[in-house]
Amino acid sequence: MKRLAPHWQILASLVLATLTAVAFRGLFGGEAPEGSFQARALEISEFVGDLFMQALKMIIVPLIVTSVISGIAGLHGVEGFGRLGLKTFGFYAASTILAVLTGLFMVNLIEPGVKDGAPNEVIREAFDQRSAAASDADKAKVEEANKKEGKDFFGVFKAMLPENVFKAASDNGQMLGVIVFSILFAVAITRLPADEMRTLREFFQAGNDVMITVTRWVMAVAPIGVYALIFPVVYNTGLQLFLELGSYFGTVLGALAIHMFVTLPLVLAFVAKVSPLAHFRAMREALLLAFSTASSSGTLPVTMRCIQDNAGVSKRTASFTLPLGATVNMDGTALYECVAVVFVAQVMGIEITFAQQFLVVTAALLTSVGVAGVPSASLVAILLILKNSGVPNAEVAVVALLSVDRLLDMSRTAVNVFGDSCAAVTIARSEGEEVLARG
C-alpha cells in the first residue's frame, strides 16, 4: 500500500486529535479532576507532545551550525555575500512592516475591544476572571516577563555577539549569536589554504547530511507528536472562549489571513515571479508543523528541508535566509503584537492617538526581532509595549491573553514560517536560481 504523504499524515492527526478531544469534552464536560481517566489521558498526551518538541529542538543547534557553515563556506560561498545579506534584511524589514500595518488597519477597523463606542465591559470582566483563574505556570511566566523589562529592545543587538558561543547555543533564545558565529566561522574557512579548507568543508557538509537524516527520523513520528500536542489544546479550550473574545480572535485571524493569503502571495507572484500555489504546495509540511507546534525554531529543520527539496532553493541561500528568518523575522508575531496592544488599550479605555500608534508599530517591529521562536514568546513583548504605553493593569490583560493564546500562537507561527520561506524563494530568484521548478 502506498504511504500517505507526510503533510497528509500531519493533517490527519490534527483532525483526529481535534475530533477525539471534542468527543472527550462531550463525555467529560471539559473537566479533568485529579486521578480521573481524562486527566491521565491528558498527562500522557502532554508527555508525548513534550518528547516530540524536545526531539525537534534537539536538532536545531547542530543543524543550524552545520548548514550555515557548509552553505556559506561551500563553493562560491562568500561571493556576493554582502548583497545577499542586504537583500535578506531588506525583505524581512519590508514584509514585517506590511504585516504590522495590516494588523493596525484591522484592529482600528473592527475595534474588537469597543462596544457601542465605549470600552467593552464584558471583555474587561472576562479579563479579570481569566486572570484570576489562570494557572500558576501562566502567572509565573508573566512575572518572569515583568523582570525582563527594557532588555528586549536593544538586547537583540548584544545577543548577536555572545561572549560565550556555547552558552548561547545552550540557551533557547540566543540562536542569533550562534548564527552570527557560524557565519564568521564559515567566512574564515574560505580564507584557509586549499587543503585545510576542503577538509573543513567536507566535515561540515557531512555533519549537515547527518542532521538531515536525524530530522527525517524525528519527522517519521510527527503524526504521533502532533496528535499529542493538539489533543490537550482542544480539550482545554472551550467554546465559551470564542463567544467572549470572538471579535478579537476574528481580527487577529483575519489580519493573519490577509498577510498569508493575499500580501505574501502577491509578493511571490509579482516580485519573485513564481506561482504562489506551487510555493504553498512545496511548504505544506513545514506550515502544518509550525501550526501544530507553535514554534518556528522547532519547525526550522523541516522548513529547511522543504525549501531545498521541494522549492529547489540552493543550500547557500536557504542556509543564510532561513535560520536568520526563524530568529529575527516574525511577520505573524509583529502583526499579533500590534493587534493585541491596541485591543487591550481599547478594552482598558485608553485612548491611543495616531502618534502613539506609530510608537506601537515601531515597538512591534523591534520586539518581534527579539522574540524567540517558541510558544507564547511574544506575550513578553506585548507586556513590555503595554507598560511602556502606560496601559494600567497590563499584567492582568497579559495573563488573560496567555490563557487563550494557543490557537492564535499556532496561526501566527505558521505565518512566521511562511514569511521566512517567501523571503528565501524571492531572494533565490533574485540570485538567478531556478526555484519551484519541482514544486
Least Å distance, CB 14 to ligand ASP, is 17
DSSP string, 109-178: HH-TTEETTEE-HHHHHHHHHHHHT--HHHHHHHHHHHHTTTHHHHHHHHHTS-S-HHHHHHSGGGHHHH
Nearer to ligand ASP, 292 or 416 (CB): 416
Number of residues that bind ligand ASP (CB under 6 A): 16
Binding mask 401-420 for ligand ASP (x = CB under 6 A): --------x--xx--x----
Least Å distance, CB 409 to ligand ASP, is 5
Nearer to ligand ASP, 255 or 374 (CB): 374
Stretch touching ligand ASP by CB under 6 A, among 217-225, 345-353, 369-377, 428-436: 369-377
Question: Is residue 175 near ligand ASP by the rule CB under 6 A?
Answer: no
Least Å distance, CB 187 to ligand ASP, is 28
Single residue of 211, 335, 377, 401 touching ligand ASP by CB under 6 A:
377
Q: In this structure, what C-alpha cell is assigned to residue 51?
A: 518528547
Instruction: Map 362-401 to HEC letters.
Output: HHHHHHHHHCCCCCCCHHHHHHHHHHHCCCCCHHHHHHHH
Least Å distance, CB 326 to ligand ASP, is 8
Query: CB burial class (10 A; 0-12, 13-18, 19+) of residue 92?
Result: buried
Least Å distance, CB 412 to ligand ASP, is 5
Stretch touching ligand ASP by CB under 6 A, among 14-22, 39-47, 293-301, 358-366: 293-301
Least Å distance, CB 293 to ligand ASP, is 8
Single residue of 378, 403, 421, 426 touching ligand ASP by CB under 6 A:
378
The C-alpha atoms of residue 141 and residue 291 are separated, in whole angstroms, by 22
Count Cβ atoms below 10 Å from residue 111 Cβ, excluding itself: 16
Nearer to ligand ASP, 314 or 368 (CB): 368
Q: Which residue has the cell 549569536?
A: 177
Question: Is residue 141 near ligand ASP by the rule CB under 6 A?
Answer: no
Least Å distance, CB 117 to ligand ASP, is 31
CA dist 306 → 128, 195, 216, 313 (Å): 43, 33, 12, 9
Q: In this structure, what C-alpha cell is assigned to residue 160?
A: 548577536
DSSP classification of residue 348? T
Nearer to ligand ASP, 93 or 271 (CB): 93
Count Cβ atoms below 10 Å from residue 406 Cβ, excluding itself: 19
Q: Is 283 in contact with 394 (CB distance < 8 Å)?
A: no
Question: Is residue 131 near ligand ASP by the rule CB under 6 A?
Answer: no
What residue ranges bind ligand ASP (CB under 6 A)?
294-296, 330, 333, 371, 373-378, 409, 412-413, 416
